[in-house]
Every structure is written in structure tokens, then in C-alpha cells.
Chain A
Amino acid sequence: MIEVRNISKSFDGNKVLKEMSVVFEEGQTNLIIGRSGSGKTVLLKSILGLHEVDEGAIFYDGRDFTNMNEKTRKKLRQEIGMVFQGGALFDSLTVEQNVRFPLDMFTSQTSKEKEKRVDFCLEHVNITNANKLYPSEISGGMQKRVAIARGIALNPKYLFCDEPNSGLDPETATLIDSLIQDLTKEFGMTTIINTHDMNSVIEIGEKILFISKGEKCWEGNKDEILKTDNQTLQDFIFANKLYAQFKQNQ
């Protein structure tokens, strides 16, 4: 469980996050949704400590992350897996080396054990026969999946994904969504996903936080979201023609 308590963040006087409070539950897929530029990435990076927050605090299962010293933070980060928007695989390493990287850095496993773990992770994201390829040699969807494999290599308690299916075709996007959900269930992770994709919302939105202009605007789940009478949220959802039609037919 990750608790965000009243955090604010501004860049050069421009307030990007305003007094945000939210709780993300364990073993389920928590979604942060909102328009481009609404502050999703900043919120995610603030929770991760890549941006220092101006006010407020963040708790990882009760552990105060905001006021933690650098050393304890580093320890805690080894419980975190992150999948960046573009995958952020290391260009100079092969698929296999990318997934093994966190193991090399933080475990004292033997090469055999590492190899087993790498294969296990890659199998879980359905990547086979690509071990020796470089990120530039595989498709965008595969890059995302390898990034997920790297994210779960250290068996994290917390998984963060920044727009995991942006730039992918609808079919692959759905596959990635259900993959993340399955992994979340299987390993009991607290998973937080940034997205502006309504399909993901309907597919895997067990808990949804809608933010607009850096403010929390609505909170709920996928069953509640289509029935909302929150105007800003309605504008966001029904910007998509398909959902607008769906609403009319109801």
C-alpha cells in the first residue's frame, strides 16, 4: 500500500501538483488518469522521489519515504520496479543483459541463478528467442515487455508504469494491460499505472484516480466511472466518440 498525503510540487513557481492525497492498494492495479500535461508523470516521479515534493509526505506501507535518508531510500528502491513511458531500456545492453542488470547490481546470485531468473521474467512477458538482441532491434511492444521483465526482476513489492501502452496498437496495448494485471495478482504487488487510454481504464481500472491540472478531481473504480456526473471527468471520458455513443445508447 502506498499512501500519498497532501503533496504539492511546483517548477519555477508553476504549481504542477496541488495538495494531492490518495491511497494505492496492494494486489490491485491502481490507475492515474488524466489529459496530457495534467501532471501524471510528475505525480508518479514524485512518489518515486525522482522529484522532491515541496509539501506533504509519501508512505510505502507506513514507511515515510519523504523524510528518509538517502541510504534507506536506496534500500527501499530495490523493492520498486518501474516501467518508463518509452521503456528506457539501456541501449548498449542486450535484452537479456537489461533484465539481468538489476540482479548484477543488487544480488549476489550465481550466474546460473541469474540466468534462471532472467528466463523466468522473460517467459512471464512472453518474450522468447530475443535474448541476444539489442533494444533497437525489437519492436516497441517488445521493448515495453522487456521493460516490464526488467521491472519485475528483483521481485518488487511496488510496480510503477508510465503510460505502458502508449504508442502501441490496440491489440498489443490490451495484451500489455492484462499482462500487468496478471503480474500484479500473481506477485501481490502494489501497481500504479499512468494512462490516458480509456480502454485500459475499462479493462483493468480496479482503482482509478482522475487528475486534472494537477488536482485530484475524482476517485473510484471502473464500474463507477461511466456513471459519473463529474463534468470534467465526463469531458475526458466522452471525448472518445465510441464512449460517447455508448453513453447515448444507455
Chain B
Amino acid sequence: MKDYKTQIKIVILCFREISKVRKFFFHIGRYFHMLGRVFARPEKHKLYIRQLFHEIENLGVNSVGIVVIVSLFIGGIMTIQFAYSMSNPLYPKNLIGLGTRDTLLLEFSSTMMALIMAGKIGSNITSEIGSMKVTEQIDSLEIMGINSASYLILPKVVAVVLMLPVLYVLSVFFGLIGGLVTGPIVGVISVNDYLEGIRWLFEPYYATFSLIKSLFFGFLVASVPAYFGYYVQGGALEVGKASTKAVVNTNILILLFDLILTRLLLT
């Protein structure tokens, strides 16, 4: 009798998992369906360009502050940590600058920045589009015969894809500055050693690799939260929940793509 019950439980569990998997594929399918509409030809180019500039300012330029602050701090912190872990006099002093530089170039300024941007820009996109959805503003566009997906989402995707590589460069730059300022002040490294270190064994491909990653991440950071906003149903509460879901899912996808791209492009 007991066996029978466990068997039923297992069957129920299996069905649950299957329905989860089905849901996953449902979302993937609907996401690509949405992208299909997003990349349809825009209706009025002039309006579209105006929207694009607005989004570049709204999503990109307004993120410069946080990128600069975070990068300055992380650059400084990394320099101190590298100096600490390489305090053995056998290691060349150059390693500190090199470590800071390569970490910024390879991983921090691309991936970590994308994760931060997913939190900042992503939640902004979901809540903006989501609240337009639940207040029927999107229906309103559709009634007028406007492709709402393209009108609302395309400028955002293009703006973020353009801006993320720019933010990457800014982040690397300010991260290095952070190290340059902090290291000597804390007294773990001299200015000269640091400057020599960040030029030592420089590999330009690291930057290329990260710029390519930034393009992918930019696409994810804009399109995934847009998806969650575009299909939200209900009211303000659901919009809030959708924002959270959007950020979590975007973060997971960024890390997944980071893994895939690193495997493909770096090894």
C-alpha cells in the first residue's frame, strides 16, 4: 500500500517537472516570437530615431554614474587584494597591476557590469513596459495599427547594445584609475610599479573578447526584461513581480552566455 502511494507521488512529481519544462519552452518560443515582431521594419523612421536617442540617454548615459563609482571602488579593492596575495617578494611587483588590469578587462567590466546593468536598466525596462501593458497603453498602440513590440522595444535594444560596450570601456578605465589612486595611498604599491604593471604583457584580444561579450549582454539586458514586461498580466503588483523575475532570469542568462562565450572564444 505504501509503495503504491510513493509511486503516485513520483508520477505527480514527474508531471510537475514536465509541465515546468513545457513552460520553459513556451517562454522560449514566445520570446523569439516577440523578437520577430521587434525586428519588423519600423513604421516611421523619424520617430524611431527620436525614440532611440531618448533611450540612449535614459538607459545609457544615466548609467554612467553608477559604472564610474562601482569601477573606481572595485579597481581599488582589487589592487589591494592582489598586493596582499602577492606580498611574497619572489613575485614581481608588476603582477599587481597586471592582475587588476586583466580581471577588469576579462570579467569584471563586462560580466559584472552587465549583471549590475541588468538590475538597473532591466528592472526599469520591465516596469516601464509592464505598466504600459496593464494600463492598456500597449493595446492602445495596437489599435492604432502600430507594432507595439517594435515601437517600444527596438529602440531600447539598440540603445543598450550600443551603450554596453561604451560602459565597458569606461569601467575598465575607471577601474584602473581606482587602482592607481588607492594602491599608492594605502601604500601597497608605488605609482610607477602600478603603471608598469598595467602595461606589462598586455593582450589586446582580451578587450576584443569582452567587447563581443558586451554586445551579447546588451542584447540580453534589454530584450529579456522587455519580454517580461510585454507579457505581464494583472496590475501593479504583477509588474513588480515581473521586474524581479526579469532581473533574476537576465542574470542567469548573462552567466550562461559568459560561460559559453568564454569556452568558444578564449580556450
Contacts and interface: CB of A to CB of B under 8 A. Distances in A.
A74 B144 CA distance: 8
7 contacts: A50-B142, A50-B143, A75-B145, A88-B140, A90-B140, A101-B144, A106-B145
Given A48-B143, A50-B143, A88 B47 contact: no
A221 B145 CA distance: 32
A74 B143 CA distance: 8
Nearest to A147: B140
Contacts of A106: 144-145
A90 B44 CA distance: 18
Nearest to A50: B139
A155 to B, nearest CB: 14
Nearest to B142: A50
Nearest to A77: B145
A157 to B, nearest CB: 14
B44 A88 contact: no
A86 B135 contact: yes
A82 B139 CA distance: 10
B136 interface: yes
B145 A84 contact: no
Interface of A: 45, 48, 50, 73-75, 77-78, 80, 82, 84-86, 88-91, 101-102, 104-106
B129 to A, nearest CB: 12
Contacts of A89: 137
B169 interface: no
A86 B136 contact: yes
Contacts of B132: 90-91
B57 interface: no
Contact of A80 (B43, B44, B143, B146): B143
Given A104-B47, A105-B47, A88 B144 contact: no
B137 A90 contact: yes
Contacts of A78: 144-145
B85 to A, nearest CB: 49
A75 B145 CA distance: 7
A88 B142 contact: no
A53 to B, nearest CB: 16
A121 B137 CA distance: 20
Contact of B137 (A80, A85, A91, A104): A91
Contacts of B47: 104-105
Given A104-B47, A105-B47, A84 B140 contact: yes
Nearest to B143: A82
Interface in B16-47: 43-44, 47
Residue of A48, A75, A82, A89 with highest tally of chain B CB at under 10 A: A82
Interface string B77-94: 000000000000000000
